[in-house]
């Protein structure tokens, strides 16, 4: 089939695209940034077409969908700060449904949220239900797959679980640890999404999907600890932790930011168990147990085979406008007696588990400070330990330019009173190459000025040490 895929640079869509191609379908990826999408390993497949489109623009979206037999709608906001995200999601869904109708799309497939029906749903799950209804208001039939906790390398649910279990041998938790859930492995989610296309009974149906086990979050955490080779965790549930406090706690302990943690924490109060097994009967497959899903995720991480991460999704920041105003620059150079490729490889190892080549304790301290004020800190890590692609998250940085072996640019996503970037440029010379490392900061107001001057004394330690470390690493290869 000719299949339109939204969310192709996100966690689920990034994996679904490869599965659709393997099944013989032609994929039209509707993306915000064609350049970011190009970093997907399946993006250059001859059966893939990338269309850069704003999903809010009805006419452009209609043209992008024209000629497609089916369209996957894998778009939703994962934030609960402010009151506009639910309405924004509803409007996007309404535009998508109308565009699909105008374009003559045969069906829409949507991945929603598993949860009990009724008035007690969290705000986030309520928004998911509203998106389902909005998509179905037009004439194009909609297939809804509802999933709860998705376990896979790089998923938000798995990262929360892994960090909580790994870092906290004793946990004071909300009452939601006694709530029942039915986790499902990411590979099973992708398989259900793919096989929908071949099963006519799924057209217009709403299907709950889950793994073979129903357990509480307390039991889920204990299974994770066992799979990770850790001792049994002490978990004490108390009634006083609100969703707000829970999300702040998740933010401080795990890589997940407050805006993402809030809807996840709120949703945990709802029982997320399949109410029917139609999906399992219509599209049978080998469903991984919780233990198998966790071990598979851990194995992928250890082998550096993480296909996508929760932090992949979201718009790319625009390049900072360095024209006008005050821009502070810290530029340093060093000759390196080796090839540009080896220097670039050494540059691409920065951050994550490898560290920053020098003064790592200062970077860890900066990461802790960033977490305290709501930033991502260093816990996002990186998807691959040795290579970087456009759009990748790297600790509290985002890769905004990659030109191997000449240039790498990182833009800061930490909480700052200004805009910061760190770039590396490599120029070949007669006996090797020259590595130029440039840190830029455009301050915002007096706080921005104060911030810059407060960290300048540390630059010689941090940036000079980083430059020397990259030089040593490159020349030792």
User: How many domains is the chain partitioned into structurally?
Assistant: 2
Q: Order of strands across the sheet with 48-52?
A: 48-52, 26-31, 2-6, 70-73, 107-113, 142-147, 206-208
Would 323 be classed as within a structural domain? no
Per-residue pLDDT at 121: 63
Phi, psi of 143 (to 5 degrees): -100, 125
Q: Do both 293 and 221 map to the same domain?
A: yes
Longest dimension (CA), the chain: 72
Strands 418-429 and 184-185: unpaired
Would 317 be classed as within a structural domain? no
Identify the domain boundary among 278, 309, 340.
Answer: 309
Q: Do both 273 and 337 map to the same domain?
A: no
Q: Let me know how long the chain is.
A: 477
Burial class (CB in 10 A: 0-12, 13-18, 19+), 289: middle
Identify the domain boundary among 279, 309, 339.
Answer: 309
Q: Do both 126 and 242 map to the same domain?
A: yes
Q: Do both 278 and 335 map to the same domain?
A: no
Q: Do both 129 and 157 map to the same domain?
A: yes
Q: Do both 380 and 294 map to the same domain?
A: no
- What percent helix, strand, coil does the chain show, rounded to 5? 40, 20, 40
What average pLDDT does the structure give for the chain? Answer: 86
Would 397 be classed as within a structural domain? yes
Per-residue pLDDT at 375: 83
Would 318 be classed as within a structural domain? no
Structural domain for 234, as ranges: 2-309
Q: Do both 267 and 355 map to the same domain?
A: no
pLDDT tens for the chain, 477 residues long, are 999 999 998 889 999 999 999 999 999 999 988 888 888 889 999 999 999 999 999 999 999 999 999 999 998 765 544 456 778 888 999 999 999 999 999 999 999 887 655 556 667 777 788 899 999 999 999 999 999 889 998 888 888 888 888 878 887 777 777 888 899 999 999 999 999 999 999 999 999 999 999 999 889 989 999 998 988 888 887 776 566 666 676 777 776 766 666 666 666 667 888 988 999 999 999 999 999 999 999 888 888 778 787 777 665 554 434 334 567 889 999 999 999 999 999 999 999 888 999 889 999 999 888 888 888 888 788 888 888 988 888 999 999 888 899 999 999 999 898 889 999 999 999 889 999 999 999 888 778 888 888 998 899 899 999 999 999 999 998
Residue 316 DSSP label: P
Number of H helices, E strands in the chain: 15, 19
Would 103 be classed as within a structural domain? yes
How many CB atoms are closer than 10 A to CB 44? 9
Residue with tokens 């829970």: 246
Distance, in Å, from the CA atom of 435 to the CA atom of 411, rounded to the nearest integer, reads 19
Are 175 and 237 a contacting pair, CB within 8 Å? Answer: yes
Q: State the CATH number of the domain containing residue 163.
A: 3.40.50.720
Per-residue pLDDT at 436: 95
Residue 401 neighbours by CB under 8 Å, 6+ apart: 390, 407, 408, 409, 423
CA atoms within 13 A on the CB side of 124: 24
Distance, in Å, from the CA atom of 117 to the CA atom of 95, rounded to the nearest integer, reads 26
Q: Kind and range of the H or E element at 71?
A: strand 70-73
Per-residue pLDDT at 243: 61
Would 315 be classed as within a structural domain? no
Distance, in Å, from the CA atom of 51 to the CA atom of 24, rounded to the nearest integer, reads 20
Identify the domain boundary among 309, 337, 372.
Answer: 309
Token pair of 96 as six digits:
């998508």
pLDDT (tens digit per residue) in 100-139? 999 999 999 999 887 655 556 667 777 788 899 999 999 9
Would 319 be classed as within a structural domain? no
Helix (H, G, I), strand (E, B) or coil at 185: strand
Q: Do both 274 and 343 map to the same domain?
A: no
Per-residue pLDDT at 51: 94
Q: Do both 340 and 281 map to the same domain?
A: no
Per-residue pLDDT at 110: 96
CA distances 43 to 14, 30, 34, 37, 187, Å, are 10, 12, 10, 7, 20
Q: State the CATH number of the domain containing residue 432.
A: 3.30.530.20
Per-residue pLDDT at 377: 85
Would 321 be classed as within a structural domain? no
Per-residue pLDDT at 82: 47
Per-residue pLDDT at 41: 87
Distance, in Å, from the CA atom of 121 to the CA atom of 106, rounded to the nearest integer, reads 31
Q: Do both 287 and 337 map to the same domain?
A: no
Q: Do both 257 and 353 map to the same domain?
A: no
Q: Is the pTM of this model over 0.85?
A: no
Residue 153 neighbours by CB under 8 Å, 6+ apart: 186, 296, 297, 298, 300, 301, 305, 306, 307
Q: Do both 352 and 302 map to the same domain?
A: no
Token pair of 281 as six digits:
């009967």
Distance, in Å, from the CA atom of 451 to the CA atom of 412, rounded to the nearest integer, reads 14
């Amino acid at each position: 089939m000719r299949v339109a895929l939204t969310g192709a640079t996100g966690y689920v869509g990034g994996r679904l695209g490869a599965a659709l191609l393997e099944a013989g379908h032609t994929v039209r990826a509707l993306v915000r940034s064609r350049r970011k999408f190009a970093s997907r390993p399946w993006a250059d497949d001859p059966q893939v077409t990338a269309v850069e489109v704003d999903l809010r623009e009805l006419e452009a979206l209609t043209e992008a969908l024209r000629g497609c037999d089916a369209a996957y709608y894998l778009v939703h906001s994962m934030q609960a700060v402010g009151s506009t995200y639910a309405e924004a999601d509803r409007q996007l869904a309404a535009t998508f449904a109308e565009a699909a109708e105008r374009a003559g799309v045969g069906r829409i497939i949507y991945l929603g949220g598993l949860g009990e029906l009724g008035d007690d749903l969290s705000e986030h799950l309520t928004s998911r239900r509203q998106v389902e209804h909005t998509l179905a208001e037009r004439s194009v039939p909609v297939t809804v797959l509802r999933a709860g906790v998705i376990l896979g390398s790089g998923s938000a649910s798995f990262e929360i679980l892994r960090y909580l279990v790994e870092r906290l041998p004793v946990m004071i938790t909300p009452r939601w640890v006694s709530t029942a859930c039915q986790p499902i492995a990411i590979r099973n989610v992708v398989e259900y999404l793919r096989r929908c296309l071949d099963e006519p009974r799924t057209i217009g149906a709403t299907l709950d999907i889950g793994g073979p086990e129903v357990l509480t979050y307390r039991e889920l955490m204990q299974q994770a600890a066992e799979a990770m080779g850790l001792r049994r965790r002490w978990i004490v549930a108390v009634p006083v932790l609100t969703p707000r406090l829970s999300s702040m706690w998740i933010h401080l302990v795990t890589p997940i930011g407050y805006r993402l943690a809030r809807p996840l924490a709120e949703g945990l109060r709802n029982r997320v168990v399949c109410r029917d097994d139609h999906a399992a009967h219509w599209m049978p497959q080998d469903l991984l147990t919780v233990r198998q899903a966790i071990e598979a995720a851990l194995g992928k991480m250890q082998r550096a085979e993480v296909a996508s991460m929760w932090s992949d999704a979201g718009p790319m920041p625009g390049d900072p406008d360095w024209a006008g105003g005050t821009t502070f620059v810290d530029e340093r150079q060093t000759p390196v007696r080796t090839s540009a490729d080896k220097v670039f490889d050494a540059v691409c190892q920065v951050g994550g588990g490898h560290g920053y080549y020098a003064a790592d304790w200062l970077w860890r301290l900066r990461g802790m400070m960033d977490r305290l004020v709501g930033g991502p800190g260093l816990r996002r890590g990186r998807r691959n330990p040795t290579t970087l692609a456009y759009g990748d998250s790297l600790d509290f940085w985002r890769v905004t330019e990659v030109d191997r072996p000449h240039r790498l640019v990182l833009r800061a996503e930490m909480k700052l009173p200004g805009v910061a970037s760190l770039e590396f440029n490599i120029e070949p010379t007669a006996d090797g190459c020259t590595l130029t490392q440039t840190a830029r900061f455009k301050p915002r107001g007096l706080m921005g000025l104060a911030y810059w001057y407060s960290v300048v004394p540390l630059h010689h330690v941090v940036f000079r040490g980083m430059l020397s470390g990259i030089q040593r690493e490159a020349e030792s290869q």
